[in-house]
Structure 1
């Protein structure tokens, strides 16, 4: 069996990760997103591009899913309509493509992506296990999903990102994500860290560790459909995401809280993993002709 060179190993890791995150149509979508001419919503040096283009998003994305699950109505909608258990990779690919298009794509493509998501939200409705009705297009639920996402993305970037933002950059990031949130139907998305903290506090009374939330956490943290070779790196990713959750969420999701380990070993392991993924994803792409 031929021995692979370090560049070949790096390229294989890059391709495997990209295939998981972007799906089979990933290369074509990447070319369209980054190479199509036309105006964009955000400038090349914008904080939103800096955050969403960094591999710390792997940690932030998993934290966001765990945090979002604590709203019973949002979790009921995800459990009934997202296919996160039957097709978790498909859901990841759709989400990552939406983020890429709205962050890096042309304004026309970004508007189209938003329209598709709004149409999907308009069709999602049902009854939660506690008897309450929900609608994915409900501005209140949309706001919760948004603030849980941007809080997670930003915190992961500040801890594991290659170039953390300064205070002004954090506020600019939130102001830029608010542009997309408003287009999705969020009426008053937070535009500063102070506003984000206030919004998260305001939702605290509505957040509960339901059976659906705990099932989602077990699935995401313990039994995701990944190859055995990826189990150890994924365990590090999971521990890093859990380590960034607020302490009050742990009993609700029945996940461990080990502040000393999370501040030392988990943080070091998470930093090493994110750097390794960043190194792999930065491997040169094959020439196209």
Structure 2
């Protein structure tokens, strides 16, 4: 069982972190120096849990509903041609800002801000967009934070209490402000209010629906990985609010199925991922396997 776990864990880590993953992980965790977030902070709990696999998919679907954000992604991110590269860059940014030194976190933020500054264009409807626009950055941030927290509270190994949820949102606000978001939400009430404030701007464009089909139905995966991925995708959709599902052409909520079979499958798969990716025991000490 130990060999199976190590093989599965290495495969998952390679997909998420890329070929330089081991070196990057060592630099993030082993470099001495002050961090933005110390041990025990809620952001470390959420971002280090297997529920992020579901939360990440949910975030992509939710973010696509803003036509300006989706136009920028469609024209500049290369998600179709290099989806794994995009995932690996995103996961590295999250890891560096969550666990890395403050100096490395600042450098990562500066890199992203420089990329955002260059991303400009016009939607098919003629609306101009700029990825560095604080209002647009605010949407991407709240959609991401809401998705990560929703997935963690449903599938995480250690769901947060009410104070922990607010503290997680406050932690993420530190990163968002560094990226250029103006007055990011710092608790659940502010997060809910900000999501509601964006809703009049949201709609599913053709690009958004195509992205949803790509994410949910045509992932670039070997056949052996399709079934587990389908479980992640089904649980990501199940956590979306009804107002986000309808515009993307996703099926309506089915409480009997989603609250039993789908949720159970999500718990089983995130539990398996958690088991596979947990650190191996120190040499000479037997693990629980």
Instruction: Give me the TM-score of the superposition, normalised by structure 1.
Output: 0.96
SS in 1 for 2:247: helix
Alignment of 1:201-280 (within 5 A): 201-257=196-252, 258-280=254-276
In the TM superposition, residue 260 of structure 1 has moved relative to its aligned partner by: 2.1
Of 177, 188, 194, 1:199 maps to 194
Sort the Cα spacing of 1:147 and 1:286 in 2 relative to 1 into closer, same or farther, 3 A. same
Large movers: runs of 4+ above 6 Å: none
Q: Are the counterparts in 2 of residues 14 and 283 from structure 1 also a CA contact under 8 Å?
A: no
Of 87, 95, 99, 2:82 maps to 87
Of 276, 281, 284, 2:277 maps to 281
1:65 maps to 2:60: yes
SS in 2 for 1:209: coil
Q: Are the counterparts in 2 of residues 10 and 283 from structure 1 also a CA contact under 8 Å?
A: no
Paired residues in the alignment total 282
SS in 1 for 2:246: helix
Q: Give RMSD over aligned pairs.
A: 1.0
Of 182, 186, 204, 2:181 maps to 186
Task: Provide the C-alpha distance between the structure 2 equivalents of 1:285 and 1:120, rounded to a whole number of angstroms.
Answer: 40
Task: Provide the C-alpha distance between the structure 2 equivalents of 1:140 and 1:230, rounded to a whole number of angstroms.
Answer: 37
Alignment of 1:92-241 (within 5 A): 92-241=87-236
Task: Provide the C-alpha distance between the structure 2 equivalents of 1:75 and 1:117, rounded to a whole number of angstroms.
Answer: 17
Instruction: Give me the TM-score of the superposition, normalised by structure 2.
Output: 0.96
Task: Provide the C-alpha distance between the structure 2 equivalents of 1:90 and 1:286, rounded to a whole number of angstroms.
Answer: 31
Structure 1 residue runs without a partner (length 5+): 1-5
SS in 2 for 1:134: strand
Deviations 1:173-217 (A, max 9, x none): 011100000000001100010000000000111110110000000
SS in 1 for 2:141: helix
